[in-house]
Amino acid sequence: MSSGREPCPVCGAEAGREHHPGMAPRMLRCADCSLVWRPGVAAFPVADETYEEGYYEWWLELPEAVAAKRATFARLLALLERQVAPGSLLDVGSAVGLLLEVARERGWEPTGVEVSRHAVQLARERLADGATIYHGRLEDAPLDDASFDAITMTDVLEHLPDPMASLRRCRELLAPDGRLLITTPAVGCLSERLMGGGWFQYKDEHTRLFTARALRTALDRAGLAIEATGSVRKTLSLAFVSRHFDAYPRPVLSPALRGLTRALGPLARVTLPMASGEMWAVARSR
């Protein structure tokens, strides 16, 4: 079934088709670059409704969650550091500042930009020594071109109504030998193929979802070339995963995880690196 005439947000093709017909929210798949996107989304969801109080707190309540997220960010920064030595770093979508915190400990000079006013407040409290964190969109932040040795966008690209504008701005902000690290859900991964339209990454705030081909196309059109890529492993606990599926319920899976978490007791809070259905890529300017 044809999508009508809304062009693909990455390549501009007008050849979208229904992706998993009947799924909610409704999404289209580009026949040219394979991007999956939600039609009719022209701007960020209002931060007060989507990314404010409650969006972050549900995982901050878990004792092991902050340590687990820090471990994931350390693993990702180690991948980035294979391509570029620590220097100035911009974290796009810096949330409550955990990646900024880990980056600073590893020798980076971090700056953040975040659309959620509430998250910016929490991050500034966490990094209480005057770390620079801008509230608003990347494209509006008062940042100088060619001023960052590295830019990170972890779990951000899928939220952006205009990912190409943000990627092009990243290209402008990178120093000549700088690198961009992206993580984003991977359409076509094993969990997506098994779960179909019920995949856990299909949620209201994920308006653009990428296959590996779509990500490569987007980066190429933004003037960036992938140097390295792979599958993301996040440090998680069963209790954390269960809380995620309470926040984003799935029939059968949510109650099953809840019951297993109760049955395992303290063992459900043990953290391990797990495949997360996401991909990472490090890119540089072409």
Q: Which residues contact 259 (CB under 8 A, 6 or more apart)?
A: none
What's the rounded Cα separation, in Å, for the pair 243 and 255? 11
Q: State the pairing for strand pair 27-30/36-37.
A: antiparallel
pLDDT at 138: 96
- What CATH number labels 16-44+72-234+277-285? 3.40.50.150
Along the 286 residues of the chain, how does pLDDT read in single tens digits? 444 578 999 999 987 899 999 888 899 999 999 999 999 887 666 555 677 777 777 667 777 889 999 999 999 999 999 999 999 999 999 999 999 999 999 999 999 999 999 899 989 998 987 789 999 999 999 999 999 999 999 999 999 999 999 999 999 999 999 999 999 999 999 999 999 998 989 988 899 999 999 999 999 999 999 999 999 999 998 888 888 788 778 888 889 989 998 999 988 889 899 998 999 999 999 8
231 within 8 A of 186, measured Cβ to Cβ: yes
pLDDT at 99: 97
Given the structure tokens 């606990």, which residue do they identify?
237
Domain boundaries, the chain: 16-44+72-234+277-285
Average model confidence (pLDDT) across the chain: 91
Q: Which residues contact 148 (CB under 8 A, 6 or more apart)?
A: 87, 88, 89, 90, 111, 173, 174, 175, 178
Give the pLDDT confidence of 247-263 residue by residue, as tens digits: 778 888 889 989 998 99
CB count, 10 Å around CB of 205? 14
Cα 50 to chain center, whole Å? Answer: 15
Give the pLDDT confidence of 44-88 residue by residue, as tens digits: 665 556 777 777 776 677 778 899 999 999 999 999 999 999 999
What's the rounded Cα separation, in Å, for the pair 164 and 162? 5
The number of residues making up the chain comes to: 286
What's the rounded Cα separation, in Å, for the pair 117 and 89? 21
pLDDT at 48: 54
pLDDT at 59: 62
